[in-house]
Amino acid sequence: MDEETLIPDILAGSEAAFTALYEKHSTKAYRTALLITGNVHTAEDVVQEAFIQVIRTLGRLKSPKAFGSYFYRIITRTAWRLSSGDRKNIPTEDTDTQSVFMPQSYSELYKAIAELDIKLRTVVVLFYFNGLSLKEIAKITGIPEGTVKSRLHTAREKLSRVLDKEDYYG
């Protein structure tokens, strides 16, 4: 089911519709929160708080088609609020979530992403892991589209330097 069907049902009080919406978005939301916060427990809290906020504010959503941007704005801002500067460790060892989105061969990339400033990390996660457009990221983060481009460019350069250095030195 799509959001255009689910949202009116949720607003009418359907628990089944909310469960379907949760199942549709929870894995991707968790991955996003984990990559932004770098902490499994914080990511779980982010997802839980985000879905609570969805329940509280869904009636304000102007169009069900805008749910994706609306939801990832909530995820992103909740992740920013709950994370702190010392939570930069993306788990690369075996976890329940690793098989969902973290193949072992990418562990160096995830470690490098974890070292990025949270503003750079956020645009990388939203662009590359969630496939959002620059315009959507600008809307979600509340920054101009040019700033999103600049942050992506800066993040790519930093990741390239870190990853090239690791390849060179082994």
From residue 142, give the alpha-carbon distance in Å to each of 29, 76, 159: 19, 11, 24
Is residue 78 within 8 Å of residue 53, measured between CB atoms? yes
| Interior/surface letters 103-122, b for 16+ CB within 10 angstroms, e for the rest | eeeeeebbbbbbbbebebbb
> pLDDT tens, position by position, for the chain (170 residues)?
789 999 999 999 999 999 999 999 999 999 999 999 988 999 999 999 999 999 999 999 989 889 999 999 999 999 999 886 544 444 444 344 444 444 444 677 888 888 899 999 999 999 998 889 999 999 999 999 999 999 999 999 998 888 777 554 44
Task: Give domain 3-169's CATH architecture.
Answer: Orthogonal Bundle (1.10)
Q: What is the pTM of this model?
A: 0.74
Joined together, the tokens standing for residue 166 give 């690791």
Copy the structure tokens of residue 125.
Answer: 């996660």
CA 155 to chain centre: 16
Rounded CA-CA distance 165/162 in Å is 5
Tokens of 42: 């914080």
